């Protein structure tokens, strides 16, 4: 660029001053310097950056690189970028060839049981078929074909297995939109592990907040591996300190390996396929646990509702860690239709590129939240739309946040001249708890806008239509369609009574896409599950089966007998010029003195002057009194970037309310460097404590090893000298005293149940290598253990197994192996009890895993009672693949024996459910698939 550096600096200062002067931002105007932090000192968020960068580009006739949106912390950083910018890049590329998609025979995947099968089927059927067009900020595209995706996924799967990650364990993906994300996600599936996509960093001024939030999510997910990118490795190493489950932090390049065998994994349709953390996950992380069946059913239902055609083309810029973005990819992946992907930053900085991608690829399906359409209306320069053709756009989905009817109207009007058909708009409703999609318009039409009378809405919870088009006191809501095939939706009151049409209440849903529960959070799961229905947390009403969404139930404000929804209050306040757009939160705070809730409004403003703030408060009160007929009780004006938002940019009303109550709302965060120092000190403290803990465990493990080295050879020798029955009694005596000498006291409840019947089938949960030794110490001498045949290859242990007459099988689900099953049944008929761990194995992750049916099948066919045994505490002693021990008390709850009643399949399932429910009550760990096991049986 020919302009001098000093002139660039001068113009940048002037542009920034003009920008903040328009906003009447006295605080920011006083702070403007070349080195002032755009975010921390000037209070500029991502949308503010978009506006400022747009002005800079117009002034210098350049296009700033997308990277500058993330990296530029000050105007001085932008000076360097502008110096090296090429003004020729300001012209939008329009020379690209418009792609034409021809109809081809769709691959029948209706019998696929899991997503890995889908990948391998596409790769085998047509490996050269283009799957993803990954677009960068310049519009250049990297094509990922199905064969390439499968090959790279196999390299990742090998790397995962080489790092000791077992099937069923969780692997977190903290990556931006990139080819590595797709390879890693598919590789995790091929390895039989469970992907956990999480929000990648990051805002520099919120690094401490980010680290704490992600650490809580990773802890809740019990992540064993974190895949990230090199720039995040420093933060990731800090995170690793706080997450005991985490074995390793790797990049895609470090993980990828071409050596070794591809893991051989059998993945069933009911196995976990994803843990999707909701964007508002903070202090109480809620990870939606979905199976392959959940996800495939949702994708297939979407295919029927749209319906999807072989000639369809998808464009998406939505974040891949968000349910809507992830499922946009996976639906395209399943149906074999091409998908063009842009990064969220590309869309935010250049929203026109979304529309041009639709134009170039003749896309038929694309969508986003309401703000995306609003951004297109407000930010795109008409010069950047010359030649644009949107006539191919068949469905423009609008969901994931509140839908504003005025936005749909403005977008339709603005882009009609570019071929956009208003009937293409498809307002939809979905949530992660239903995989993603729940309702869809029955037919292609203009959006259905329902105008209802405010009076009945606020006082009687009724959606009564306006009497005349001239009525002014009304509210508008958008129809979001009918429940998808095989899914149901209903409206109920707080007592679970189903409500009639146009009565406002709680939205509940069910169907095969419904989640299995919140991972490792049974309290949240039980709270959301209501007699076969899931509570969405949203309120709304139905009209002839079509859903109209009002808002989040927890955000409802009850003031003087009126039901106020915060969205409407916030819309009124945000209309003021001095208030930052999209940065207003309204909530209610209980006031015992008033006997009702106080209405609190928190709004961000750039204004610093005390007199100006008083004027703004007066304007807010006046506007609300006129528009809503009710003034706020409290108005809190805060600096920019104060109101908490989720990773996807949604307002966090609950977090804002909590900060207000605790007096932390106006507290400014520490500078980024101090936050890093604070985190480093916390990490160091944690490491020191971890080292001390490690040393303590090491000493304890040596102590236990000495006990074992002294006693095991004696017992091992005596086994050769004694008959089987005395050998079993001796082993039982030794096992019991081993726990006593190890400082692990046993507390047994229901011991009398062990001898109520003979023979019996003893069924216990499995949490540690020490569980078998524990059962050996308490079970009757005639109890035979069932174990995997692999134990016969283990030194010492194989001697115990053979001498004590224990049984080994090829598979623990021996109901599928006739020879093993017949052998076990014969031992039972001879009067021997058997002991089985129906989970088959255990992993590092806490939780009661699904039970295999072998034990229950034999119980029914031999008419033998089952005795449920719940073990709690052994996971603390010796966990997963960690061979360092620590002392801990052990609780054992022995339930009443449960006898089968009939010899049929339904009795096997009933017995399975009753026993698992009984063990779940006392094992002290969450049930991993709490819903899929069926209702609790009393």
pLDDT tens-digit series, residues 461-475:
999 999 888 887 888
pLDDT of residue 805: 66
- Band (pLDDT 50/70/90 cuts) for residue 931 is very low
Alpha carbon distance 519, 523 (integer Å): 10
Of residues 194 and 831, more confidently modeled: 194
- Band (pLDDT 50/70/90 cuts) for residue 583 is confident
Peptide bond into 759 cis (omega under 30): yes
Alpha carbon distance 647, 644 (integer Å): 10
Residues 6+ apart with CB under 8 A from 471: 451, 453
Alpha carbon distance 377, 418 (integer Å): 13
**How much is the mean pLDDT over the chain?**
83
680 φ/ψ sector (left φ>0, alpha ψ -120 to 50, else beta): alpha
**Strand 429-430 to strand 365-368: parallel, antiparallel, or no bridges (unpaired)?**
unpaired
pLDDT of residue 67: 72
Alpha carbon distance 504, 138 (integer Å): 48
Alpha carbon distance 865, 898 (integer Å): 5
pLDDT digits over 146-187, tens only?
Answer: 999 999 999 999 999 999 898 989 999 988 899 999 999 999
Q: What is the mean pLDDT of residues 259-288?
A: 79
CA dihedral (402, 406, 410, 413) positive or negative? positive
pLDDT of residue 89: 43
pLDDT of residue 95: 38
Peptide bond into 307 cis (omega under 30): yes
- Band (pLDDT 50/70/90 cuts) for residue 693 is confident
| Range among 300-314, 557-571, 674-688, 850-864 rated most confident | 300-314
Alpha carbon distance 27, 48 (integer Å): 15
Residue 937 pLDDT > 60? no
Alpha carbon distance 696, 694 (integer Å): 5
Angle 233-242/207-221 helices, nearest 10 degrees? 50
Alpha carbon distance 625, 488 (integer Å): 40
The structure tokens 């974040």 sit at 319
Q: How many residues does the chain have?
A: 938
| Range among 327-336, 571-580, 813-822 rated most confident | 327-336
Of residues 278 and 74, more confidently modeled: 74
Helices first, then strands: H and E counts in the chain: 30, 36
Residues 6+ apart with CB under 8 A from 908: 853, 856, 857, 860, 900
pLDDT digits over 53-97, tens only?
Answer: 878 888 888 887 777 766 777 888 888 888 777 654 444 444 344
pTM listed for this prediction? 0.75
Percent of the chain with pLDDT over 70: 86
CA dihedral (261, 262, 266, 271) positive or negative? positive
Alpha carbon distance 786, 824 (integer Å): 9
Alpha carbon distance 904, 262 (integer Å): 40
pLDDT digits over 795-850, tens only?
Answer: 666 666 666 666 766 655 555 566 677 888 888 888 888 888 888 777 777 788 88
720 φ/ψ sector (left φ>0, alpha ψ -120 to 50, else beta): alpha
pLDDT of residue 653: 82
φ, ψ of residue 415 in degrees (nearest 5): -105, 10
Alpha carbon distance 494, 558 (integer Å): 15
Alpha carbon distance 239, 14 (integer Å): 41
Number of Cβ within a 10 Å radius of residue 743: 14
Q: Tell me which residue of 331, 192, 295 sits closest to 515, measured CA to CA.
A: 295
Please give the sequence-ordered ranges of beta strands (E in DSSP) within 218-355, or none if there are none.
Answer: 223-228, 248-251, 272-277, 287-291, 314-316, 339-341
pLDDT digits over 645-672, tens only?
Answer: 765 567 788 888 888 887 777 655 566 6
Residue 697 pLDDT > 90? no
CA dihedral (107, 111, 117, 120) positive or negative? negative
Q: Within 638-784, where are the H helices?
A: 653-661, 672-721, 724-741, 771-778
Query: How far from 119 is each of 300, 302, 788, 878, CA to CA, in Å?
Result: 16, 19, 32, 37
Residue 274 pLDDT > 70? yes
Q: What is the largest CA-CA distance in the chain?
A: 100
**Strand 449-453 to strand 474-478: parallel, antiparallel, or no bridges (unpaired)?**
antiparallel
The structure tokens 């449960």 sit at 898
Of residues 487 and 403, more confidently modeled: 487
pLDDT digits over 426-455, tens only?
Answer: 999 999 999 999 999 988 899 999 999 988
> Do 911 and 898 meet the contact criterion of CB atoms below 8 Å apart?
yes
pLDDT of residue 315: 96
């Amino acid at each position: 660029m020919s302009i001098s550096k000093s002139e660039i600096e001068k113009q940048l200062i002037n542009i920034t001053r003009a920008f903040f002067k328009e906003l009447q931002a006295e605080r920011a105007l006083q702070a403007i310097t070349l080195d002032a932090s755009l975010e921390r000192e000037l209070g500029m968020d991502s949308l503010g950056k978009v506006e400022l960068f747009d002005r800079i580009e117009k002034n210098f006739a350049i296009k700033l690189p997308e990277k500058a949106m993330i990296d530029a912390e000050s105007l001085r950083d932008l000076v360097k970028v502008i110096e090296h910018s090429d003004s020729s890049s300001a012209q939008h590329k329009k020379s690209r060839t418009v792609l034409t998609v021809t109809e081809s025979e769709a691959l029948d995947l209706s019998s696929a049981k899991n997503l890995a099968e889908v990948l391998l089927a596409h790769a085998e059927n047509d490996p050269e078929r283009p799957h993803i067009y990954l677009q960068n900020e310049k519009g250049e595209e990297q094509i990922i074909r199905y064969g390439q995706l499968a090959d790279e996924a196999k390299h990742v799967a090998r790397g995962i297995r080489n790092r000791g990650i077992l099937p069923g364990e969780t692997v977190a993906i903290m990556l931006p939109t990139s080819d590595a994300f797709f390879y890693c996600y598919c590789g995790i599936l091929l390895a039989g592990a469970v992907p956990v996509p999480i929000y990648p960093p990051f805002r520099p001024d919120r690094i401490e907040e980010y680290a704490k939030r992600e650490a809580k999510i990773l802890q809740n997910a019990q992540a064993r591996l974190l895949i990230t990118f090199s720039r995040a490795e420093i933060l990731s190493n800090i995170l690793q300190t706080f997450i005991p489950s985490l074995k390793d932090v790797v990049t895609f390049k470090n993980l990828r390996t071409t050596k070794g065998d591809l893991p051989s994994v059998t993945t069933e349709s009911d196995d976990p396929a994803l843990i999707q953390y909701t964007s508002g996950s903070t202090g109480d992380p809620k990870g939606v646990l979905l199976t392959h069946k959940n996800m495939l059913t949702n994708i297939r239902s979407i295919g029927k509702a749209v319906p999807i055609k072989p000639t369809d083309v998808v464009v998406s810029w939505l974040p891949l860690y968000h349910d809507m973005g992830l499922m946009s990819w996976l639906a395209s992946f399943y149906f074999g239709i091409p998908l063009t992907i842009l990064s969220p930053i590309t869309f935010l900085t250049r929203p026109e590129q979304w529309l041009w991608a639709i134009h170039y690829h003749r896309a038929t399906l694309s969508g986003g939240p309401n703000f995306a359409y609003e951004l297109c209306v407000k930010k795109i320069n008409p010069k950047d739309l010359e030649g644009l053709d949107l006539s191919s756009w068949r469905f423009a989905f609008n969901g994931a946040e509140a839908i504003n009817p005025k936005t749909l109207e403005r977008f339709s009007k603005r882009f009609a001249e570019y071929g956009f058909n208003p009937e293409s708009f498809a307002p939809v409703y979905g949530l992660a708890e239903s995989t993603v999609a729940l309702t869809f318009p029955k037919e292609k039409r203009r959006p259905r806008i329902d105008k209802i009378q405010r009076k009945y809405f606020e006082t009687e919870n009724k959606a009564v239509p306006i009497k005349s088009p001239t009525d002014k006191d009304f509210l508008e809501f958008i129809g979001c369609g009918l429940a998808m095939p095989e899914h149901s939706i209903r409206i109920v009151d707080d007592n679970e009574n189903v409500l009639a049409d146009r009565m406002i209440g709680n939205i509940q849903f069910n169907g095969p896409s419904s989640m299995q529960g919140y991972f490792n959070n049974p309290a949240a799961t039980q709270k959301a599950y209501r007699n076969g229905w899931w509570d969405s947390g949203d309120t709304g009403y139905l009209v002839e089966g079509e859903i109209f969404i009002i808002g989040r139930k927890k955000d409802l404000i009850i003031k003087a007998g009126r039901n106020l929804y915060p969205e409407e209050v916030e819309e009124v306040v945000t209309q003021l010029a001095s208030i930052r757009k999209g940065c207003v939160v309204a909530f209610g705070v209980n006031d015992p003195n008033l006997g009702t809730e106080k209405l609190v409004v928190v709004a961000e403003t750039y204004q610093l002057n005390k007199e100006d703030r008083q004027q703004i408060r007066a304007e807010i009160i006046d506007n609300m009194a006129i528009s809503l007929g009710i003034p706020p009780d409290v108005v809190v004006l805060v600096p920019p970037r104060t109101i908490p938002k989720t990773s996807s940019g949604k307002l966090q009303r609950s977090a804002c309310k909590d900060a207000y109550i605790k007096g932390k709302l106006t507290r400014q965060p520490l500078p980024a460097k101090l936050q890093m120092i604070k985190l480093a000190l916390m990490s160091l403290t944690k490491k020191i404590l971890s080292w001390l803990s490690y040393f303590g465990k090491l000493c304890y493990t040596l102590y236990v090893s000495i006990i074992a080295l002294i006693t095991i050879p004696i017992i091992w020798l005596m086994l050769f000298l004694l008959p089987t029955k005395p050998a079993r009694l001796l082993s039982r005596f030794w096992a019991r005293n081993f726990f006593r000498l190890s400082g692990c006291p046993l507390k047994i409840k229901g011991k009398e149940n062990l001898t109520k019947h003979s023979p019996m089938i003893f069924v216990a949960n499995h949490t540690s290598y020490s569980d078998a030794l524990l059962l050996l110490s308490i079970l009757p001498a005639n109890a035979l253990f069932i174990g995997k045949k692999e134990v016969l290859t283990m030194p010492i242990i194989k001697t115990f197994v053979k001498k004590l007459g224990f049984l080994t099988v090829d598979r623990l689900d021996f109901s599928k192996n006739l020879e093993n099953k017949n052998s076990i049944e014969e031992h039972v008929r001879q009067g021997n009890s058997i002991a089985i761990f129906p989970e088959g194995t255990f992993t590092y992750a806490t939780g009661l895993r699904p039970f295999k049916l072998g034990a229950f099948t034999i119980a029914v066919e031999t008419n033998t009672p089952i005795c449920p045994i719940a073990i709690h505490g052994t996971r603390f002693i010796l966990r997963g693949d960690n061979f360092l021990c620590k002392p801990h008390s052990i609780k054992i709850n022995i339930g009443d024996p449960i006898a089968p009643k009939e010899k049929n399949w339904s009795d096997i399932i009933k017995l399975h459910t009753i026993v698992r429910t009984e063990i779940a009550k006392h094992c002290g760990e969450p049930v991993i698939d709490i819903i899929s096991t069926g209702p609790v049986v009393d």
